[in-house]
Structure 1
């Protein structure tokens, strides 16, 4: 039976997603303790895991989650308040559910966790004692000079409060008098609060207001519990207008579909080539129709594989929380660009490298609270993760505001390891890249978190396998930034087909900025590289025929394809620009994988193979040319 048809495998997959959703909800609750919608959302996910577990025979999961749900229901009913202990034990309960899903026989006993959760709830209930105040002012209160904001501020001064408006009495806009005070308020005040102190706030309105004071946690409906319907099963049909229908499809089927689409694109290119050679107008029309349909099918298939990076950021929030506790350092984790999409395969392979980078930022990058105070930094360190599109790439950055990299320390350790020599002249970027070498570490001691020099080597190998690049920037005392440059997709792209010395190559079209003629003076000159003046801007260019050691004579009318990556530009001198084409990316063999300047290969319509140029590597070469030229100018 396939994994897709195996009910237990389907349950494990869905339950894992629900546990991830529960974990994200708990982490959000840590910042928004009184959010009743969040509490209800976590409770619904727990209820679904319990019900599905019992249905599919996962009795250990169902039994544990039942007790977890029962304890969490106290928050939903307002009988206990969210606090750090409740969140911490609930996260451990999530870990235990994952263990039960993986293998119930090897999972540790869950009773200690449930006991700890019950104790945390009891403590939260004791510390959550307080009052619920519901108040409505007279309609003319504002006209009489009373200010609702001041009254609410006085209530807030009595203890930790949660305030919600009661807008039921507000009439339609056409009937509304803006000078009337029609909104009521519900205020939950935690702690030992004397009802007389509440009444004193409204002493001048005692005979005019509608005031109700009840103990916090009273079974009467509260802010933490709005009327709700029974939790619907996840397999139920969605309500009209609630969103698009979805279905679960095995990744293997998507991979197979993408492979078939790739073969279709190659066959379509072959058909188009035959139609052009034959000169048959009817055949050309059919070929163009098939080309249009193939492009639409390609785009639809690729969109199915695209996943937002936000799908994996939840685990990083949990990671940072655990690191903060383990290291004894307050850490704030911020994200942006979570809707930036990447191929599902890229997202899956990217999770572990990002874990290594974030762990290094927390352990090596951020200082202790005492060290941060000594240099006038806030005690709480910050780690930021953001993602954005950049042409044919996605840039993912991890920043921290810690101590930054120490170039001198990196250089000393590199010399000790034999990675460089005393007299080597390395730029700062080259020096920073040494931290990606296998076994390299500047840590003085090995800890549970880092120090063995393994993590960043894993990051480099994974990113290179994805045809990406890593950039490291740092400013001592102000933190570091690690940027991952990754292709949008690993399957099919639009390419610009070019010719050099009779051989064909493809350039990702999204990286192409413009194409210009190579001026005659440059065409007559020799040398692998130089600069081109394009509308007053100097752009370095590389003669690909010299770079590839092509011996055939050049074209009389060479062209320059200006490509861009990471905000930098370089011109690529080619003999001829052939056409735009759909490029099916094929990985290079192991024998050719080490070739610089190429990211893969593709099959053309006539069956020949064209290498795909690696634009980021070529742009990096252009930056090297610029740096070398600048150094020569300074020396002169």
Structure 2
């Protein structure tokens, strides 16, 4: 028998013996050591370990023999332990057979030997360090014994990737401590691997990046093998082999190979995200693994990579961006640092407590201010009392010296020669001394309050630092969404036949995770429009003297509490004449109305506005930009547009980095305190510097040489201010809302501070213009206002844009809708994400019954359905659709794992238009959907 056949036989024996060993362990765990059944189970288990060791010795595998001997030593310890004490031993004995089988099946995988030795080190009777190193060396030598025999009969590396090779099912008996460590370290490692792969593609990396990538891939492969994620271990293994080849070949990775490795790195990152619950299952994993296997096998056979890589470099949907190059992030590539996993509940509780500390600190500050005022009033009162006492003393002494009833001198002394005091004089003098003591106490009290004020100031500073640190735990680097943005650019390039490079700068900018999640969808629309209508086709760019590959730059930057996001492309820019003509056709502006270029540019932000004659999922410059404008308005931000004819277009978004705390100006209007976000405030003007007055039936504010439209804040909030005769002398807050400048009349400017925003509750969350509530230091409540929403109806009309005519948007067709029907949650989520990123509207249902119910409210343009589902399967759903007169022509695409001809025939008879078997390619599925819509 050959060595490889012997190894296969040993692996089969271990796997066949596992059920019997499990039964023995159950008896060893529960029975008394003197029971006959216990002794019989112990003998069977120990005998099996001994036989395996003897077989390993006969085959000349000392490493396996040492493993079996160590297991035998631990097994015999069971007789010396009481049943409650055997639990760790039983767990150890239960874990080594699957690790042994995995090692025998993967003798060339170093992580398999590492996992087995690590398990033996944790035994109740553990290995010594020198023993474990020796055993690791012996196990590591086995591939050199076995592989020559294996290579003579069959290839060492598989040729075809199967669905099982990329399986990500988590074993039910996985060690929770190992799983926690994986969740803690793997996401950062995968993100680091993607950054290193980008460096290889862009040509900016060196041999150190290749070595680092190999180390990270080896770590991910080992982690996947230990916890049982076969897909992660398999892809990581071949990924590492390819990196090792290029390391030995001089450290430079050929560009086509780097593209394939970048696809694999993206897939590994998505696998880790799926395992941790942060991402969808990578549907492209099998295709990516196949390309990696093709590349690795050609390397093994010594073939020319330039010929071999023509198919390997083909882009995979959901992988790296389809571009000739990949730009690096604004932040330098760095290995992932140490991190700590903390539950969301714990962070929310810390955030709540830090907010309470901040509120109480502000309350303490307000009380100290009151005490200072009272201490000063007390001191002033003491001075007034002292003055009155001086007057009283004068009145008491004067009659004694000048009164007519003055007594004769005592013992011959004249009154001028010796003072004589009455009881009234003594009382007045004592009162003077008491007042002087009270004044001294008031001064000491004021000094004590001053010292306490210093302590409170330091406490407030520490409370603010604490709050900023806790808020920092909610902040996320903008770079975490880059993978999805890159995939979106690739999908749009495939749909339009264009080439684009997305460069992301400022990826280290930290943004509130909630804000970042809500920002992703507008960014997808923004990038899709930049590719579809901003960039020219490669031949057009070449004719214009440009690089055939278009460039889109996405930059994040912090300016104080604001994030400035700029999206620029080097395409053709906005077609301003076409935009104006379409606005005239829709009745948005008059034909003879003068408009500045900036005003014409902002027309593309109106709902449903597009210059495209045929609107598809990616057509129409305005489709999606309305989403951007609405998102900016929802977070109190702004949108700016700058177009350069023939050189490109830039859209700038400005918004708060966090919506949890907002730097606000606190004002008072109509007896209520309001908090206005400083992001929207141009200036606060005290009364006297300007004047409110009526002009042409409207209220204006004259300030210097400026005349601004004005509103009373109390009236805008519905507090019933006197709009007919507003006081001319009022404090004013000049705000900028949606490119309009408005002066708000307020009763008083109170303070400026950073406020913790709390939800107004379910009964008030729909109030127009209300963002939340904030508790001030004196215990009062300030209402946080959304000025854009509050003043949208009250602001002065735009001079450039007339009101839209009724039904002006009725002629613009909606985006195509897709109904997704599948009983698997992961499949539904993946398909919904895919079609939404491609620009479609999407609805999902769990089975045919739910789909029929969804059809009452949602009329799709195409249906994607599974075959096998509970309640009503895909065949029955298709028959129902074909039986309805209003749905007879609705295209139905069936996606199923059933590939037999009888299933396909049954689907065709029911009326299915297209039958697709899993696994499928995302790009081909999108092409099928577009063909169904065009039919």
Residues 1:530 and 2:701 are matched in the alignment: yes
* 1:505-560 Cα distance to aligned partner (Å, 9 max, x none): 12335666654434477256665323422xxx747463434655652686785233
CA distance in 1, matches of 2:507, 2:708: 35
- Alignment partner of 1:118 out of 296, 300, 305: 296
Residues 1:259 and 2:352 are matched in the alignment: yes
Q: 1:70 maps to which residue?
A: 241
Q: Any conservation in 1 of the 2:676–2:785 contact (CA below 8 Å)?
A: yes
For residue 361 of structure 1, report the CA deviation from its aligned partner: 0.6
Q: 2:430 maps to which residue?
A: none
CA distance in 1, matches of 2:603, 2:797: 21
- Alignment partner of 2:221 out of 50, 57, 75: 50
Higher strand share: 1
CA distance in 1, matches of 2:541, 2:689: 59
- Alignment partner of 1:18 out of 181, 189, 193: 189
TM-score, length-scaled by structure 2: 0.47
CA distance in 1, matches of 2:664, 2:640: 25
Structure 1 residue ranges without an equivalent (≥5): 130-232, 235-242, 629-636
For residue 71 of structure 1, report the CA deviation from its aligned partner: 1.6
Q: Any conservation in 2 of the 1:569–1:622 contact (CA below 8 Å)?
A: no
For residue 90 of structure 1, report the CA deviation from its aligned partner: 1.8
Q: 2:830 maps to which residue?
A: none
Q: 2:662 maps to which residue?
A: 493
CA distance in 1, matches of 2:759, 2:641: 27
Q: 1:180 maps to which residue?
A: none
Change (3 A) 1:609 1:296: same
Task: Give the secondary structure class of the aligned counterpart of 1:44.
Answer: helix
Task: Give the secondary structure class of the aligned counterpart of 1:528.
Answer: strand
Q: 1:542 maps to which residue?
A: 710
Residues 1:482 and 2:651 are matched in the alignment: yes
Alignment coverage as a number of residue pairs:
509
Task: Give the secondary structure class of the aligned counterpart of 2:755.
Answer: strand
Residues 1:579 and 2:751 are matched in the alignment: yes
TM-score, length-scaled by structure 1: 0.66
For residue 607 of structure 1, report the CA deviation from its aligned partner: 4.6
Change (3 A) 1:331 1:606: same
| Aligned-CA RMSD value | 4.6
Q: 2:261 maps to which residue?
A: 90
CA distance in 2, matches of 1:9, 1:349: 28
Larger relative contact order (CA 8 Å, sep ≥ 6):
1
For residue 277 of structure 1, report the CA deviation from its aligned partner: 5.7
Q: 1:158 maps to which residue?
A: none
Task: Give the secondary structure class of the aligned counterpart of 2:574.
Answer: coil
For residue 89 of structure 1, report the CA deviation from its aligned partner: 1.9
Task: Give the secondary structure class of the aligned counterpart of 1:342.
Answer: strand
For 1:324-403, what aligned pairs fall within 5 Å after superposition? 324=493, 327-403=496-572
Task: Give the secondary structure class of the aligned counterpart of 2:556.
Answer: strand
Q: 2:676 maps to which residue?
A: 507
Q: Any conservation in 2 of the 1:518–1:573 contact (CA below 8 Å)?
A: no
Residues 1:558 and 2:651 are matched in the alignment: no
Task: Give the secondary structure class of the aligned counterpart of 1:348.
Answer: helix
Change (3 A) 1:460 1:358: same
For residue 378 of structure 1, report the CA deviation from its aligned partner: 4.0
CA distance in 2, matches of 1:623, 1:476: 32
CA distance in 2, matches of 1:303, 1:79: 43
Change (3 A) 1:249 1:422: same
Q: Any conservation in 2 of the 1:385–1:398 contact (CA below 8 Å)?
A: yes
Q: Any conservation in 1 of the 2:610–2:621 contact (CA below 8 Å)?
A: yes
Q: In terms of mean alpha carbon deviation, does 433-442 or 418-427 score higher?
A: 418-427
Q: 2:326 maps to which residue?
A: none
For 1:403-442, what aligned pairs fall within 5 Å after superposition? 403-407=572-576, 409-410=578-579, 420=588, 432=601, 435-436=604-605, 441-442=610-611
CA distance in 2, matches of 1:528, 1:593: 30
CA distance in 2, matches of 1:601, 1:250: 26
* 1:420-449 Cα distance to aligned partner (Å, 9 max, x none): 477796956666556456665544556675
CA distance in 1, matches of 2:680, 2:606: 29
Q: Any conservation in 2 of the 1:539–1:571 contact (CA below 8 Å)?
A: no
Task: Give the secondary structure class of the aligned counterpart of 2:691.
Answer: helix
CA distance in 2, matches of 1:619, 1:547: 7
Higher helix share: 2
For 1:215-234, what aligned pairs fall within 5 Å after superposition? none
Q: In terms of mean alpha carbon deviation, does 296-305 or 310-319 score higher?
A: 310-319
For residue 367 of structure 1, report the CA deviation from its aligned partner: 0.5
Q: Any conservation in 2 of the 1:80–1:124 contact (CA below 8 Å)?
A: no
Q: Any conservation in 2 of the 1:496–1:507 contact (CA below 8 Å)?
A: yes
Q: Any conservation in 2 of the 1:564–1:619 contact (CA below 8 Å)?
A: no
CA distance in 1, matches of 2:497, 2:789: 41
Q: 1:209 maps to which residue?
A: none
* 1:254-306 Cα distance to aligned partner (Å, 9 max, x none): 33322332233334444555565675877974765654443232122223333
Structure 2 residue ranges without an equivalent (≥5): 1-171, 276-280, 308-334, 376-444, 801-935
Change (3 A) 1:444 1:300: same
Q: Any conservation in 2 of the 1:559–1:573 contact (CA below 8 Å)?
A: yes
Change (3 A) 1:31 1:371: same
Q: Any conservation in 2 of the 1:332–1:381 contact (CA below 8 Å)?
A: yes
CA distance in 1, matches of 2:690, 2:177: 69
For residue 487 of structure 1, report the CA deviation from its aligned partner: 0.8
CA distance in 2, matches of 1:521, 1:354: 41
CA distance in 1, matches of 2:689, 2:621: 56
Task: Give the secondary structure class of the aligned counterpart of 1:115.
Answer: helix
CA distance in 1, matches of 2:492, 2:190: 20
Give 1 or 2 for the bigger CA radius of gyration. Answer: 2
CA distance in 2, matches of 1:93, 1:295: 44
For residue 368 of structure 1, report the CA deviation from its aligned partner: 0.8
Q: In terms of mean alpha carbon deviation, does 353-362 or 262-271 score higher?
A: 262-271
* 1:224-270 Cα distance to aligned partner (Å, 9 max, x none): xxxxxxxxx98xxxxxxxx8x54233444333322332233334444
- Alignment partner of 1:612 out of 784, 795, 799: 784
Change (3 A) 1:472 1:124: farther
* 1:455-513 Cα distance to aligned partner (Å, 9 max, x none): 44544454444333333343443322222221121112343221123221123356666
Change (3 A) 1:324 1:21: farther
For residue 116 of structure 1, report the CA deviation from its aligned partner: 2.6
For residue 321 of structure 1, report the CA deviation from its aligned partner: 5.6
Task: Give the secondary structure class of the aligned counterpart of 1:483.
Answer: strand
